[in-house]
Structures are given as structure tokens and as C-alpha cells.
Chain A
Amino acid sequence: MDAMSDHEHDKQLPILQGPPAAKPALEAGHDHDQEEEIVDDTLREHRLELSTVREKLKDKSGKQYWRTLEELSEDPHFEELLHREFPRHASEWDDAVDRRDFLKLMGASLALAGLAGCGRPDEAHIVPYVKQPDGMVLGKPNYYATAMPFGADAVGVLVESHEGRPTKIEGNPDHPSSMGATSAMVQASILNLYDPDRAQTVLQGGEIRAWSTFLDSAQEAATGVKAAGGAGFRILTGAVTSPTLASQLRKLLALYPQAKWHQWEPAVSEGGREGAKLAFGRVVNTVYVPGKADVILSLDSDFLASGPGHISYAKQWARRRKLESTSDSMNRLYVVEPTPTVTGSSADHRLPMRACDVELFARALAAKLGRGNAVSLPADAEKWLNIVAADLQKAHGSSLVVAGEQQSATVHALAHAINAALGNVGTTVYYTEPVEAEPVNQLESLRDLCADMDAGKVDLLLILGGNPVYDAPHDFDFVTKLKKVHTSVHLSPYFDETSAYCQWHVSESHYLESWSDARAYDGTASIVQPLISPLYYTKSAHDLVAAFSDKPGQPPYDAVRAYWTEASTKLGTAIDAGWRKWLNDGVIPGTKLPAITPELKFNPANLPAPTAMPATEVEYIFRPDPTVYDGRFANNGWLQELPKPVTKLTWDNAALVSPKFAQKNDLAHKVVSRGGEHGQIRSTVVDIELNGSKVTAATWTTPGQAENTVVLHLGYGRTRAGFTGTNKGFNAYAVRTSSAMWSASGGKMTATGDGYSLACTQYHFNMEGRQILSTATLEEYKKNPAFPHEGHEEVAKDDSLYKAFAYPNYAWGMAIDLNKCNGCNACVVACQSENNIPVVGKDQVMRGREMHWIRIDRYYTHTPGFADGGTGDPTEYNAALDNPQTFFQPVPCMQCENAPCEQVCPVGATTHSAEGLNDMVYNRCVGTRYCSNNCPYKVRRFNFLRFQDWETPQLKLLRNPEVTVRSRGVMEKCTYCVQRINNARIDAEKQNRPIRDGEIVTACESACPTEAIAFGNINDPNSKVAKLKAQQRHYTLLGELNSRPRTTYLGAVRNPNAELEKA
């Protein structure tokens, strides 16, 4: 760790009871830890620019020159500058020798003498409360309902809190956006709360200011603009779904009639809003009901893994793929998309197609349904279209067409028309008033703002969240325009690219730290309640708006409470009774927006003739990154290290290209022997010139991508993300202009000649004909429900040298339905959060040492060229890779009954529990790694170095006290969340009753949006898991080894359209 963060770790933490703002120290600014803060924050925030250094050094020669350098080196900012301007390429968990290590090394001679083990622990202390909070039982976690606002949606969550520390996020079953499940981003959001790199105080030009000082100058500025009725007062927000914030803003605008409110979200296109206007003449909110759809067509929409309501959509979709007997039916999913997404990979039929051609496809489909004029498609697409159209019509009223978040207004409008034509409106899709408080064309909104700023019309700019300097279209040149603003205030959780150019920076509270409210994708509102008082001197958007209103200093709680006191009368509930219930349930009943039936004013026939891009033209498309999204999660180690669902890349984005494209432009991959297929791949680096600017990116060959599409994922290349996220990947915003926000052409790609090492956790993609992931079509399944067992010898249960264990009471087991898993990764992060799993950094991932206890393997099937012994290298071109079938398989520890690992551990650190778990006893492990070698599933993870952060105080707060924090040199692995099993068992035993089915829910199971994972007692024939295991689809991974895993799978069944099959 570098000096910067070390310094930061030393800083003492504001104590948890009582908000720091309550401390007089803040106003006085002379109390002890305040002092420390100053030192610290000047270090972090008062940036020193290279230019100034040059300035200082200019016209100094010889001696002088060096003296000045020396002075500089005294200056703490100089060191910081070095770190910023010359960032280390090695990851933060790098294991290179440094001086400190070397000294330790000298000391190690003692360790060599064998003394390391000895020595007694020093005195420990017990520090009880003075007055214990009511309702708190020490050692028992409490759960609170709240909601995580995200774009035009909010996900209701239940947050586990240990002695006042939020430690784990679970889904809220009562909340429409969650239905009990979560996504990887929701799971990881708790890490942001404890991120030591968060901005921690109010800053003016890098100098620390007390909040009161800010309030005064805010009022000053306000009165300044008041004279002109608020002309020159601008507010920039993201999409606002918080009713309270909206009303606060409206009141503010009423106060300053000339003021303007702009909005900007970089990762969501105007398509949705403009499409609605095109179709209905006004903005409406579209809500899908995939649960009622038999046939679904996605027009480049990743509705199972991103966008408002995706968790609930995934759940509904998966419930329609439940197979219990051969008589069951399944929905059918068609996907047209340029690059493989979670949704596309789980489709029954997938047609790779450039993003710009999707509109043509939509027009053609509409025409097929008698809406608008026919357009010509490529022959194969044409055939595909005909069959799909027929299928959709067959399912009249129970089909669904979904337009992609990044698609054009036309496509959205066409989707509305098609759904209408198919009679789906009211069944599988319905419309409501917009969820966003103030839906506007954000691109235009931002354009206006820039124009005004440029014209010097903006005196006071309030940026509530967001990071426009980083993510605004680069032709807007936001920075220079921002500089022209007289007073600019930026509210954000980090001191980021934008903060650096604003006079004021106010650190933003995390949603677990402050009061607010938010609407879900269907309009259902929730109160966002804090679980912990702010760790730092942070404020929320409510505070800021209030600061400029006539209610300066109004606490968010009052604002929220006030709004809902008003609203409660409309809802017909007394606020006091209602409030408690709302907080308890996490939803406010009666706030769900009613369905409306807007009149379709759109006739595709009137559309201007399509402007098709020539088929040979290469298109560059921009997409939010699957893990760090638009860049807001760039500093989140969990998401950075989370393998992207399809590419399995970590810590970087890459320019995704199709195999054919790669072959044409000889873009190569090289497996590096350090790490190899399970770690380090060196790929060709290219310069991409697009829209008059240029980025340098590593390429990545992605099977199943449309031939002439290059995907640039947004969210990387941050320069001020923080310790974890800075200088990772390349910045796609740099080549993104307002004229080509989502799909650009006329780009030029030239290989720079050098390579770049990418951290890829799974490179080899085919199964080598082993019994790993069994798949079949619905037809095949109906013919032979036991298809996974075909051609695989089954071993007799007692076919072992060792005596089989008896499991008299409980026998824990897990069944994973591959029919439902769509590889969304929620389980991986949930597990990481529940089990204190460390982040190891890119360098270590490239050495094949990532620590995830559950991994999601991605396989391509029906790739004849790679049938046997192939290297599984997508850069050896093979037609099978143009559009391979993709399957996902979550792999946690198998908890074998006849476990290879147990037999070889010399010290009995991994042993068999009486309930069939492979217990892993970290404190007994000496680290021979024999168990991992002998594990056929390679699910064991080893602490090769000291991966866990033992110093950072914030991260200590994050840890789950129920799980040991592993030290260096020990093996670790999934234990079915044994801490949850034990706690449930103890509760049951105290009541002298058996544990009920479903009482124990593992972290992965509870996070899974598609209910693919089931855990329980397989001795109980009525348990959910036992029933699944009783199915004929059920099989064990590598069954012929007779390791007899407790974690088993249900074969994946796809529901292809017979006609397309033969076509």
C-alpha cells in the first residue's frame, strides 16, 4: 500500500453514536481529530499540478534547481502528485520487495529460528455500552428495510446490522424491484459505504470548510442570484425518482423562477423517453410482465441484467423456465443483439446483429405485423425474422417485445407499436405515468446547460451527484465551460474529476447513511432510512437543495417526513402509524403507479426511410460496463474483481471484437505462462480514432459478437476514482460525442504493435466432452428427461475403500438449476460480502489467485472445431464461434461425501462434519495446498499472500463477525454459509424443534434473482432441495469420480423453435 493510503488509515474514525455534525468541534475546527483531518485532507484534496511544479522549477539552474526540488519533496502534496501523475502499474496488492519488507526480512531470521509460533496475546478489553440502545441484543444482528436508489429505479433491501454496523445487504421480498433478490451492484454497494477513499469533508478550493460556513456562503450566493429571480442559477442532477427531492427542487424553482434544473445520466439513452413521445405523444413509463409472456423478443435489451426492474424481470422470466416434469412448458426467449449479454447468453435463439441494424429488424418485424413498410434484411436475418414473427403472432396476447435501453427512439416506438399489434398491452406490458419526477431529454438538457455556461449565463451551478467532467459527451467540452461558471458546487461521494473543477465540493452521504426516499420501476415508493450515522462529514442532496432554499439547514429527515406527512393524507393513512409500517416493510403501500392506456399515435409507415449503414461498415457501440456501470463503481474492489459475466475479464475494460473481425485484423491473444488460461492473457493493443479523438485500448475477441461491431464499455479510465479505480482500463467517453452517443461509425482501428495483459479468470471455454454442464432442448428433454446421464457411467454408491458416513439428522445439500442461472454474478458478490472474502488485485488475479468461493463458469457448446483437446482459444477462428450457444454454471464447493480433499490433509484441517459438510478449519490449516491439488472441482482458494486488509479501520467495520478473517498461508472455501446453518440450528434447538425447510438461506441463494440455487436438508424428502434432486434432470458434476458431491445440478434445457433449428 502506498504512503497516501497508509496515512489515511492512521486517521481516527468519527465515533458511531451521534452524528459528527453534532460535535461542536466541527464549528470550532480546533479539536484534535479535526487537526488530523486537516493534515489528511490537504494531502488528499489540495492538489498540486505538474504545471505548478514546472513553474517553480522554471529558470532555476544547478544548485537552486535541486534545492527547489528538495523543498518540493518536503511538501506532502508533491508525493501525492507523484502518485497521481506517475501511477503504479502494479496493483495495490503487489508483492514486490520494498524497503519495509526488507527490514522485516532481516527480522525474519528470528522467525527462521522458529519463534514465530510462540508468544502470548496481549491483554484484551471489554468496553460495554454506557447506556445500551433498546432492542439491541449483543451478538444478534438486526435487519432494517431501506432502498438503494439507482437511476430511474430503486431496489428495496434488508440490511443486516451488527452492533450498529451494516455488514450485509439482502433483498426485500416485499419490494417490487427486489422480490427478495439482489444484483451484484446492490450487493457491492455496501463496500462503497466503507470505502476509505470517500471524500470526507466540505471543501472550498481544496481547503476544509465547516458545513456552517458552506451554509452561509450558499445563502449568500442564493441571495446573489435572487435579485434576478434566479437567472444564472442552474442545478444539474441525475434521474430523480425521490419524491421528496423532486418537491424540494420544485419549491426551489418556484423560489427562483428563472433558475433551471438540468438532468444527465450517461449510461441510459433518450430512446425510452423519446420513443414514448413518438408513440404516445408524451413520456410514459413502460413496465414489462415477463412472467405472463410465452414468447419474448428482446431488441438489443439486456432486461435480465440491467435497467430498471431487471431483478424482478429475471425472476419472472426464470419462473417461466421451471421444469418439474415433462409436461411442463417453458417460455421462449429470442434475442437480437450486437454483443453477447447475460440476456442474450440465456436466450433460446440469438441473432447477432449490429446495434444500428436492430432498427431495421424492428421495422421489418413491424411490417410483418402489418405496421409500416417492409425493409429488406440479409437473407438469414430475414428467415429468422419470419419464423420469430410467426411465433410471436402464435402467442398473441402472451408475447412480449422489449426494446433495449441503449436503442433509438424509433426502436422503442416500434416496440410499442408491435406490442400493441400483438395485443400484449395490458397483459405482458403496461404503461404508467413516468417514475422519474421530471423526465426530460437529458442530452438536450445537458447541451442547453453547456451552452448557457459557455455564454457565461451561469453564475451558480449546483451539481447534485454525477460526474459530468468525466462522462459528458466530449464534444461538449464540459471542463472549459465549467470553468466559466462563477460559483460551482459539486456533491459527490468522491473527490472526482468534476470536483476538481468546482469551487465547492460537498462529500455525499451513502444511502445507508442518510434519509431519503425513492420510487421503484413500477412507481412503488420506499423510505430510504439510514443504518448508521455518517462516517464522515457528509451531506445528501436534500441538505444541499435545502441550503439554497428558504429552509437552510433543514435535515433530510424533516424534509422526507414533511413530504410524506402531506402525501399520507392522499394515501389515507395517518402518518405516525404509516411511517412506522413503511420503515418496517420498506415499501409504502398505495404508491405503485396505476396502469394507464395512452393512445398510440404512431404509424410506422410515416417513419422516414431507414438509413442503413453499409454491411461492411464497422460500428463502434458504447455500453455501460457490466460491473462498474457508468464509472460510479470504479473504486469498488468487489466489482472491479468480479469477472464480467460473458468475457470473464476483471479489472479492465477492453474493446470487444468478433472472432471474424479479429482474424481479419489479426488481433491476437497470447496465453501468458504465469497464470495462463486461468489468469493472464496478453492481447493486441489498438488505437481507436473515432469522432475526432482517440483512445488506446486492449482488444478482446468475444464469440457471438456481430461481425462488424466493436464494443467500448464505459466506466473505465478514471483519473480520480480513488485508490482502487484510478487508471484502470481505458476511457470510452473520450471518443463519445453527442452526435453518436450509442453507435458510431467511421472509426479507425490501428494496432499499436504492443500487447497488454488482461486478467481473465476463465479462458478455456469448451468442456472437452466431460460430464460438466449437461444441456438439452425441450424436445430432447421430453423424450429423455434423464438426458444428463446419457453416456456417463454412474458409480455404485458403496464403491469406495472408506466406510460411508451416516447422516442421521441433517444432510445439507444444494441443487443448482442450470435452466434458470443466467450468469448475472449476484451470488459471487453476495458470497464475498457474507464471508469476508478479500480482494486480491489485478496482479494476483493474473497469477490465478482470485479468491471467490463461488465462481460462474461460462461454456460455449456446439463448437465442433473445438470438440476435443482444442486449446479453447477464441482467436483460432472457427465458424462455430460466430454465434455459439452459451451456458453458465455456478461452481461453489461441492461438499463431497467422499471428499478427495479430506483424505490428503495431513493435519485434519478439512474434515467431514456429521451433517456432510467439508468443514474447513482455518486455524488448523498449515497450508500444504494438497487439498486444492486433489480437488477435482478446483473450488479451494489459498491465501498465497496476506490478501486481507488488517489495518484500514473502515474495512474492519465491514466484516461479518460471524466468519473468521483468514490469515496468510491458509486454505479457504465455501462452507454453505455454515455460520448461518449454526445460528439457525441453535435457534431451533433452543425451541426443541427441527430446522424448518427454507429457514437456512445461503448468501448465494438469497441473492439469486432467478431462484436457480436451492439449499436445504436432503434427508427431508419434502424439502425444496430434495425435490429438485429427485428430478430426472438432476446430475452430479464429474459423477464418474464418485466423490458424491452434495452440490448437484439440474441439466439446462433450452426451448428452441423447431423451425429455426432445421432452418
Chain B
Amino acid sequence: MAQIFHRSANFIARASLLGVAVLAGAALTTVLVLARSPYITNQNVTRTQPIQFSHKHHAGDDGIDCRYCHTSVETSAYAGIPPTKTCMNCHSVLFNNVGYLEPVRESFRSDESIRWNKVHRLADYVYFNHSIHINKGIGCSSCHGSVNQMPLILQASPLNMNWCLECHRNPQQNLRPKDQIFNMDWKAPANQEQVGRQLAAEYKLRTTAELTSCSTCHR
């Protein structure tokens, strides 16, 4: 009676057994990697904005303080996106006729807001509060990166929960002196671990258990 299978079938059979295992592994890895990739986190993805506003120019070159525009960053959960009025404070005089600022002037005339595309986007069920981080020695650049180097603002950190927890579990790695909060170029000193602990004590930081309680961020 004729053979049903060619001899190679033996090899194929064995190979496919192995293949299944490998594939399954690969699939799982892909998912896990994808979840951490910019495709999902939007890390380092620049968006086109109605006005090509350059933080590099304003915060970096002109050295305007963050708080000039983001007024409520020290007092409120929201840092605050400046109203058109704030732009016009300067641009009613400076560059007051260049074309690329027309949308600003238009907004001011027509009383219609400028629609910016959101860059840093947390899930709705995360209740992040800027002011407390600022007040407890977390600098802007710790999360937002060196904004003063960004022609177009982009999200410097993955902003996923794991990333949040890294700091909430041991904050000392990111704590800075109060006067360094708004310094975009701040670099952690060599003895940050030790400095951080001192600052943590100074700022009366809450215990890790408290900082990692679910209700700290979720309600």
C-alpha cells in the first residue's frame, strides 16, 4: 500500500511542533512590546498644531518662565493652557503682522478659541494634580523632558501607569530643590539617592504605601 505521506512529513511534523511554541511566544512578546511602544503611548510623537508654537523659542531662547503661560501650575490640578489674551500681550506688538500668527489674531478678534491638539493625554480616570508635584519637588522636566529644546512640543515620557508607579514607589530619584523645579536643564547629581532622601524628609513626603494607594490617582 502506498505511503500517505512523504518522508519529509516526519521533519515537518517535528518542526511544526516547535513552530507553534515559538509563534505563541513571539505573539505574546509582540503584544507586550507594542503596549510599551510609541504606537500606543504616543511617546515622542509630534502633532501638527493650528499654530506651530515653539517652546524652544519661547521657553528656551527667550527664557520666558513656564508660569507666564501655565499660570495655575502651582495652585491647581491643571497647569492651564494660556488664553489667546496671553499671546496677544506680546504679539499685539511683536510680530503683530506675520502671517503664521494670523490664527491668534483671528481668535482674539472673533472670540473663537484656538483648538490645540492635546499632546499629554492621561486617561479620564486618572486624577493627576500638577500643583502637588510642583510643590513636592518634582520639576517640570522630570515628566515633560527638556521642553526648552522642543521646537514642537512632544510627550517625552510613556505616561503609562508603570512609569507613574516607578516614581511613586521611590520618589527620591526625582526630587529636586525648590529652586530647580522650573529649570529645564536640571540633571540629577551623582548623590541624588542621598539628596533625594533628605529632600523627601524636608518636603514631608508621604509614605510609599500612601503614594501608591489606588485612590491617590483613581476615584
Contact = CB atoms under 8 A, between A and B. Distances in A.
- A touches B in complex, CB < 8 A: yes
Interface of A: 120-121, 123-132, 137-140, 808-809, 911, 913-915, 917, 919, 921-924, 962-964, 975, 978-979, 981-982, 986, 989-990, 992
Contacts of B40: 120
Which 10 A/B pairs are nearest by Cβ-Cβ distance? Answer: A913-B213, A139-B78, A919-B214, A139-B76, A124-B118, A914-B209, A129-B83, A914-B210, A139-B77, A919-B215
Contacts of B123: 923
B118 A125 contact: yes
Interface of B: 40, 47, 72, 75-78, 80-85, 107-108, 111-118, 121, 123-125, 127, 129, 131-132, 135-136, 203-204, 206-207, 209-210, 213-216, 218-219
A128 B113 contact: yes
A534 B132 CA distance: 36
A923 B125 contact: yes
A129 B113 contact: yes
25 contacts: A121-B121, A123-B47, A129-B83, A130-B107, A132-B85, A137-B75, A138-B76, A139-B76, A139-B77, A139-B80, A809-B210, A913-B213, A914-B207, A914-B209, A915-B213, A917-B213, A917-B215, A924-B214, A924-B218, A962-B127, A981-B215, A982-B129, A982-B215, A990-B131, A992-B203
A989 B78 CA distance: 17
A922 B207 CA distance: 24
B206 A809 contact: yes
A131 B214 CA distance: 37
B76 A989 contact: no
Given A139-B78, A962-B219, A990-B135, A130 B207 contact: no
Contacts of A989: 132, 135-136, 204, 206
Contact of B131 (A125, A129, A964, A986): A986
A927 to B, nearest CB: 15
Contact of B125 (A121, A913, A922, A978): A922
Contacts of B131: 986, 990
Contacts of B136: 989
A482 B115 CA distance: 53
Contacts of A924: 214, 218
Contact of B219 (A123, A137, A963, A990): A963
A978 B75 CA distance: 20
Contacts, number: 127
Nearest to A125: B115
A994 to B, nearest CB: 10
Contacts of B121: 121, 124
Contact of A130 (B111, B118, B125, B214): B111
A922 B83 contact: no
A514 to B, nearest CB: 24
Given A130-B107, A923-B125, A964-B124, A914 B76 contact: no
Nearest to B85: A131
Given A913-B216, A921-B214, 13 more contacts: A123-B117, A124-B118, A125-B118, A127-B115, A809-B207, A911-B213, A913-B215, A914-B206, A919-B218, A923-B123, A964-B124, A964-B219, A989-B206
Contacts of B112: 130
B34 to A, nearest CB: 10
Contacts of B135: 989-990
A1013 B204 CA distance: 31
Contacts of A121: 121
A986 B206 contact: no
A881 to B, nearest CB: 43
B115 A982 contact: no
B72 to A, nearest CB: 5
Nearest to B81: A128
B213 A132 contact: no
A978 B76 CA distance: 17
A964 B214 contact: no
Contacts of A911: 213-214
Nearest to B82: A128
Contacts of A917: 213, 215
Contacts of B219: 962-964, 975, 978-979, 982
Contacts of A132: 83, 85
Given A982-B127, A989-B132, A975 B215 contact: yes
B216 A982 contact: yes
A123 B78 CA distance: 19
A138 B114 CA distance: 17
Contacts of B75: 137, 140
A404 B5 CA distance: 98
B124 to A, nearest CB: 7
Given A123-B117, A125-B118, A808-B207, A131 B83 contact: yes
B161 to A, nearest CB: 10
A990 B132 contact: yes
Given A130-B112, A137-B72, A139-B77, A913 B214 contact: yes
B43 to A, nearest CB: 13
A919 B115 CA distance: 36
Contacts of A139: 72, 76-78, 80
A128 to B, nearest CB: 4
A120 B76 CA distance: 29
Contacts of B116: 125-128
Contacts of B47: 123
Given A126-B81, A992-B204, A914 B213 contact: yes
A123 B115 CA distance: 12
Nearest to A917: B215
Nearest to B104: A130
Contact of A986 (B80, B83, B129, B218): B129
B207 A986 contact: no
Nearest to B47: A123
B176 to A, nearest CB: 17
Contacts of B77: 139-140
Contacts of B113: 127-130
Contacts of B111: 130
A964 B118 contact: no
A128 B81 CA distance: 6
A962 B77 CA distance: 11
Contacts of B84: 128-131
A923 B218 contact: yes
Contacts of A964: 124-125, 218-219
Contacts of B78: 138-139
Contacts of A131: 83-85
A921 B218 contact: yes
Chain B CB count within 10 A is highest, among A128, A975, A989, for: A128
B48 to A, nearest CB: 11
A868 to B, nearest CB: 41
A127 B49 CA distance: 12
Contacts of B114: 127-128
Contacts of B127: 962, 979, 982
Nearest to B215: A919
A978 B80 contact: no
A140 B111 CA distance: 24
B143 to A, nearest CB: 17
Contacts of B207: 808-809, 914
A15 B72 CA distance: 25
Contacts of A126: 81, 115-118
A721 B23 CA distance: 63
Nearest to B126: A923
A964 B72 CA distance: 23
A992 B80 CA distance: 24
